[in-house]
Amino acid sequence: MIRDGQRVLLIHDGKEYYVRAGNGTLSTDKGIIDLNVLMDATPGETIETHLGIPFYIRIPRPTDFFSHARRTGAPMLPKDIGMVCALTGMNRNDDVLDAGTGSGIASIFFGGIAKSVRTFEIREEFAKVCRKNIEEAGLENVEVVAGDMLDAEGSFDVVHLDLQITEAHIHHAHALLRPGGYLATYTPFLEQTFIVMDTAEPLFTDVVCHELIGRELTRTKRGTRPSTRVSHSGYITVARKE
Amino acid sequence: MIRDGQRVLLIHDGKEYYVRAGNGTLSTDKGIIDLNVLMDATPGETIETHLGIPFYIRIPRPTDFFSHARRTGAPMLPKDIGMVCALTGMNRNDDVLDAGTGSGIASIFFGGIAKSVRTFEIREEFAKVCRKNIEEAGLENVEVVAGDMLDAEGSFDVVHLDLQITEAHIHHAHALLRPGGYLATYTPFLEQTFIVMDTAEPLFTDVVCHELIGRELTRTKRGTRPSTRVSHSGYITVARKE
Amino acid sequence: MIRDGQRVLLIHDGKEYYVRAGNGTLSTDKGIIDLNVLMDATPGETIETHLGIPFYIRIPRPTDFFSHARRTGAPMLPKDIGMVCALTGMNRNDDVLDAGTGSGIASIFFGGIAKSVRTFEIREEFAKVCRKNIEEAGLENVEVVAGDMLDAEGSFDVVHLDLQITEAHIHHAHALLRPGGYLATYTPFLEQTFIVMDTAEPLFTDVVCHELIGRELTRTKRGTRPSTRVSHSGYITVARKE
Amino acid sequence: MIRDGQRVLLIHDGKEYYVRAGNGTLSTDKGIIDLNVLMDATPGETIETHLGIPFYIRIPRPTDFFSHARRTGAPMLPKDIGMVCALTGMNRNDDVLDAGTGSGIASIFFGGIAKSVRTFEIREEFAKVCRKNIEEAGLENVEVVAGDMLDAEGSFDVVHLDLQITEAHIHHAHALLRPGGYLATYTPFLEQTFIVMDTAEPLFTDVVCHELIGRELTRTKRGTRPSTRVSHSGYITVARKE
């Protein structure tokens, strides 16, 4: 069930090791683990070090890839990825086009939900990192394309764009979407957000731009208060094709 | 592909009709449509009224059920449902336990993502509404239980609670979760949120309480500004089982 | 101490009457009060109706004028007025120029703090309302000018603008300010805010644009939560003259 | 006009020096300034170094004391001080009682507005710092009391509390206030805020708890966006005495 090259978490005593199944070993202060053995192991069970110490085997969840996967830059935050999923109603029947892949964190979340994800990353070296992350996540329904989303073909239920957006991207997204499908864009700056809103308005129905201000509530002996760590990150504009 | 009793959107000229396939008719100013015919029809194609006017057939997305499904009270907002999905990394491999179903809107979103959803609603009449909504959404992987989540058995990857929460709920959620799985609670009031945080703290790792303040950006001829429509709704606390 | 034409609050049993001292009477279900008598009365004491029922005499505070004064449109909210006062450090030594007076609510707050306030309102009929409100507030240090702020002369410690702003307003504000003085602008829309920031940047030091999102905390038997009544209102940009 | 011991800003070429008039000298790379000479100088004019280089003389504003004055801990932020001033309508006619003085920053803002300020600081060493700051600000209407606010006597238009609050503080504030006067409390934690709200509710009218989330808008060549520097700091509860 675990494939060669797939990422696995090995857990012992509250410590997590993010390893790759296959040739290689993990050295810990509790002994050495042969990572080849993982391919015969069952997630949820344990594997032993050469000293006989058991380590728990866990298949990483998308949230683990957010923490551990190799990054090419700051990935979208889960709260923003969650907004895209919820506001488009992304589900198992969907073909999703994603562009501006970066390290592929959002693609990993989408890939765990949708029927298929095709993700475009114009920078070859980023596409390489993403492809590696996707492969390590064991997601066979995600295809990484090193190229320009403006060259994309096909038809999709959701188009998600996280890139230096232009009017052309919005027009092409519209052309690629099936009726009833959604465009969702992530734009950190207001100027880009205005381009999205103005271009989408006459093409789509229900163009709505969302801003999410996220905070954590902290609870200590001194008392409870919102943390001052804030997470404004960008604007998410959602538009539906009629 | 469309089953008897399943909900379908019929669309003509920007107007949406939320109908049920099977016995019955839809009367419009463009003529009458026999809804039995939908069971032989293909989503994405059209169906004609008795006057020969074509209506487009669309399978509703979770966002459509949020707009159209029968409600028993105020459902969770998509932004909050999205937070739960993203912060738990909900995906196709997951068995999800949901409790405090209400009309089942969150269950419809979860059901489109997870392998299985078992949702508990203690009020019989709400469970009935939910069961109807789930059936109309054509989701065969969602089971509605008219009963108390404290009686739930089995093991799950995600437990989501949106109910009058007590310490017992948190303890039972912990017992039901697989290692690495997530509890996510939705609590509108601070007092309930404190119960969740305090009970979860010694049981789980990474207990984090999130507050999302959502706004829309409005863009008119007069200018662009955040709308004053706000959407604080509740606190989402996420905790992971080690 | 109370002057002819000045506003006074008469209070009985939790009910407030916002009256004008001088010729006239107040009729209540507890009897009639001759408002001429107020000019000999002392705030903090009582006055009796013809039936001998005592009413408490109170000089209105700026917050009372916010509630009771005649309005020409939506006035600035106290939270925004407070931001202007605090971020400019407005105090008793200041000469303040205000423009875009409207009904003069902000001027009433400023007038209670600064040495002098000169406020410009280009619409004659608004200036009239404002002049009446200022007079009724008994503020002798506030001068209402029915005219264009671009014609203003003199030198000021604080310039506050709440109007359809142009680059010329920013330049003229700079010319009117004393070294160390502050410009504060209130702009509801982002486009105007950009004009302010871009024009002020090369002229002033410490140009900072603030956005305040205000909420109330509500506490009922069901529990405590942030109200969903929000009060984003506009952007306040503060800039200092070197 | 400048008194012995008073703080003055000396400005040259965009650089500010926060000095004390009286015995002593300021050494700069443009030469030395005899600070005794300041007592004969006029704010708004210049003073020369021994090398004949002119430095501009400026009387600090409250905002300058926020930046420069000696601190005993984190002072209230201007946005919160502004809220207190605006929501109480603080003005030149007011006698203000302040407690939990700290380094006296809020007192400096209040002292520039109100007729009189009496501020209580229970920690002797903090009171000393505050007294020094107030003296250097040249505010003769602010009295610093090293003592417990619960021992305060007199009558006031505004009571402002920024301390470890108890029910007794609220009750005593009520006793000290004149009718129509305001209590304003600043509490960083929710638990304290609940004490304030619950105690004030039956005593006062119009008990409202405000939360201010402040952000700055940043505008660079890359674009415009809200900064992620946030400034939640505490809850401000305002209540009025009938």
The domain ranges of chain B are 7-58, 63-240
pLDDT confidence band for C74 (50 / 70 / 90): confident
pLDDT for A230: 62
pLDDT confidence band for C1 (50 / 70 / 90): confident
For residue A30, pLDDT beyond 70 = yes
Whether residue B92 and residue A109 make contact (CB cut-off 8 A), yes or no, is: no
Q: Is C30 helix (H, G, I), strand (E, B) or coil?
A: coil
Please give the Cα distance from C224 to C217 (Å, whole number): 7
Q: Are C114 and C184 in contact (CB under 8 A)?
A: no
At residue B231, what are phi and psi to the nearest 5 degrees? -140, 50
Q: Which residues of B touch A90 (CB under 8 A)?
A: 112-113
- Chains contacting A (3 or more CB pairs within 8 Å): B, D
Please give the Cα distance from C37 to C23 (Å, whole number): 9
**Mean pLDDT, rounded, of chain A:** 94
Q: Which residues of C touch D109 (CB under 8 A)?
A: 86, 89, 91
For residue B197, pLDDT beyond 90 = yes
Whether residue D210 and residue C214 make contact (CB cut-off 8 A), yes or no, is: yes
- Ranking B145-149, C219-223, C228-232, C236-240 by mean pLDDT, the lowest is C228-232
Size of interface A-B (CB pairs under 8 A): 166
User: Scanning every residue of chain A, which has its alpha carbon at the shortest distance from the alpha carbon of D216?
Assistant: A232
**Mean pLDDT, rounded, of chain C:** 94
- Ranking B163-167, C56-60, D72-76 by mean pLDDT, the lowest is D72-76
Q: Which residues of D touch A225 (CB under 8 A)?
A: 188-190, 232, 234
pLDDT confidence band for D229 (50 / 70 / 90): low
Please give the Cα distance from D218 to C67 (Å, whole number): 34
Quickly tell me which residue has 């301390």 as its tokens: D163
Rounded to 5 degrees, what angle do the CA atoms A196, A197, A201 make? 115
Percent of chain C with pLDDT over 90: 85
User: Scanning every residue of chain A, which has its alpha carbon at the shortest distance from the alpha carbon of D235?
Assistant: A225
- Ranking B202-211, C198-207, C229-238, D52-61 by mean pLDDT, the lowest is C229-238
Whether residue B217 and residue A210 make contact (CB cut-off 8 A), yes or no, is: yes
Topology at the third CATH level for domain A63-240: Rossmann fold (3.40.50)
pLDDT for C232: 67
For residue A228, pLDDT beyond 90 = no
Whether residue C209 and residue D226 make contact (CB cut-off 8 A), yes or no, is: no
Whether residue D216 and residue C205 make contact (CB cut-off 8 A), yes or no, is: no
The neighbour count for residue D154, using CB atoms within 10 Å, is: 9
Please give the Cα distance from C159 to C141 (Å, whole number): 16
Supply B110's token pair: 């979860």
Average pLDDT, integer, range B5-14: 93
Average pLDDT, integer, range A44-54: 94
Q: Which CATH class is domain A7-58?
A: alpha beta
Q: Per residue in C153-166, pLDDT tens?
A: 999 999 999 999 99
At residue C225, what are phi and psi to the nearest 5 degrees? -160, 155
Residue D141 half-sphere exposure toward CB, CA atoms < 13 A:
19
Checking phi first, is residue D24 left (phi over 0); if not, alpha (psi -120 to 50) or beta? left
pLDDT for A198: 97
Size of interface B-C (CB pairs under 8 A): 48
| pTM of the predicted model as reported, rounded to 2 decimal places | 0.93
- Ranking A225-229, B202-206, C211-215 by mean pLDDT, the lowest is A225-229
Q: Per residue in B23-58, pLDDT tens?
A: 999 999 999 999 999 998 988 899 999 999 999 999
pLDDT for A124: 95
Looking at chain C, the number of H-run helices and the number of E-run strands are 6, 14
Q: Per residue in D113-151, pLDDT tens?
A: 999 999 999 999 999 999 999 999 999 999 999 999 999
Q: Which residues of D touch C180 (CB under 8 A)?
A: 9, 58, 61
Nearest to C61 among D66, D89, D194 (CB): D89
Nearest to D223 among A191, A231, A232 (CB): A191
pLDDT confidence band for A231 (50 / 70 / 90): low
Please give the Cα distance from B166 to B150 (Å, whole number): 10
pLDDT for D231: 63
**Mean pLDDT, rounded, of chain B:** 94
For residue A229, pLDDT beyond 70 = no
Size of interface A-D (CB pairs under 8 A): 48
Percent of chain A with pLDDT over 70: 98
Q: Per residue in C169-206, pLDDT tens?
A: 999 999 999 999 999 999 999 999 999 999 999 999 99
Nearest to B89 among A63, A210, A217 (CB): A63
Please give the Cα distance from D7 to D1 (Å, whole number): 12
pLDDT confidence band for B242 (50 / 70 / 90): confident
For residue C231, pLDDT beyond 70 = no
Q: Per residue in C18-49, pLDDT tens?
A: 999 999 999 999 999 999 999 989 888 999 99
Nearest to A91 among B56, B112, B182 (CB): B112
pLDDT for B1: 76
pLDDT confidence band for C229 (50 / 70 / 90): low
> How is chain A split among helix, strand and coil, in percent rounded to 5?
30, 35, 35
Q: Which residues of D touch C182 (CB under 8 A)?
A: 61, 63
Supply A163's token pair: 């890139």
Quick one: DSSP state of residue A140?
T
Provide the pairing of β-strand C95-99 with C116-121.
parallel
Q: Per residue in A141-183, pLDDT tens?
A: 999 999 999 999 999 999 999 999 999 999 999 999 999 999 9
For residue C51, pLDDT beyond 80 = yes
Average pLDDT, integer, range A22-51: 93
The neighbour count for residue D144, using CB atoms within 10 Å, is: 24
For residue D24, pLDDT beyond 90 = yes
pLDDT for C208: 96
